[in-house]
């Protein structure tokens, strides 16, 4: 899995991301006017008439789920998730509606790929490639799940962590033999090789590390 990109490639990708961001957008800005019309009861005016708070969710005819929240003081966040998708795109915007950040995330899990930050003119300012430490990539994890015969419906959570200084994948799942118990099974995989470095049964009554 390739994780290294040149600065030129990163810049080009950031432009592609901005061009692909079309839902509730107008002239490269979040379309607040359209939102205020479409959101209906999801659009509220708070204490100050200048403080407009959004918390709007909709599923489009295409099956794409969209959630927009925020206000014209602190800015906005838009989450987009395809039908049956396990990854979602999160966009953050300045109060002006200009893009501030874009990232792709495994649902309730980890940052996937390159995360971009933009200045108030919409020019890329910085980026971080979250995949670099993980030579054993997402496709490799999927192959591991197949090899271990871990079913989609058994998966509780997949995340990756460097909190201890060691980069790992953590696969948390509930196989059939643990149904009707408070326990889950956990695999920790080495981020470079995919080798199982830890295998344990964990009680969901405790915090999952």
Burial class, 149, CB count within 10 angstroms (exposed 0-12 / middle 13-18 / buried 19+): exposed
Question: What per-residue confidence (pLDDT) applies to 124?
Answer: 93
Question: What per-residue confidence (pLDDT) applies to 114?
Answer: 93
Range 37-50 average pLDDT: 54
Range 191-205 average pLDDT: 91
User: Domains (ranges, CATH) in the chain?
Assistant: 7-129 (no CATH), 138-203 (3.10.450)
Q: With 80 as the cut, is the pLDDT of residue 145 above it?
A: yes
Q: How far apart are CA 200 and CA 191, in angstroms?
A: 18
Question: What per-residue confidence (pLDDT) applies to 47?
Answer: 39
Tens digits of residue pLDDT in 147-197: 999 999 999 999 998 666 789 999 999 999 999 899 999 999 999 999 999
Band of pLDDT at residue 134, cut at 50, 70 and 90: very high
Question: What per-residue confidence (pLDDT) applies to 54?
Answer: 81
Tens digits of residue pLDDT in 22-32: 999 999 999 98
């Amino acid at each position: 899995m390739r994780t290294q990109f040149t600065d030129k490639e990163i810049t080009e990708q950031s432009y592609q991301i901005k061009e692909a961001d079309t839902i509730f957008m107008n002239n490269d800005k979040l379309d607040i006017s359209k939102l205020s019309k479409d959101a209906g009861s999801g659009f509220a005016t708070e204490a100050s008439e200048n403080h407009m708070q959004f918390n709007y969710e909709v599923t489009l005819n295409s099956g794409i789920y969209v959630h927009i929240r925020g206000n014209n003081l602190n800015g906005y966040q838009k989450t987009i998730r395809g039908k049956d998708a396990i990854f979602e795109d999160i966009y953050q915007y300045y109060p002006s509606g200009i893009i501030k950040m874009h990232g792709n995330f495994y649902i309730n899990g980890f940052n996937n790929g390159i995360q971009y930050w933009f200045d108030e003119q919409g020019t890329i300012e910085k980026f971080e490639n979250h995949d670099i430490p993980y030579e054993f990539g997402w496709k490799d994890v999927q192959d591991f799940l197949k090899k271990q015969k871990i079913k989609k419906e058994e998966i509780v959570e997949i995340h990756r962590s460097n909190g201890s200084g060691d980069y790992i994948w953590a696969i948390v799942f509930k196989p059939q033999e643990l149904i009707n118990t408070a326990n889950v099974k956990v695999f920790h995989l080495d981020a470079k090789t995919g080798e199982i470095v830890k295998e344990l049964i964990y009680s969901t009554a405790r915090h999952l590390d």
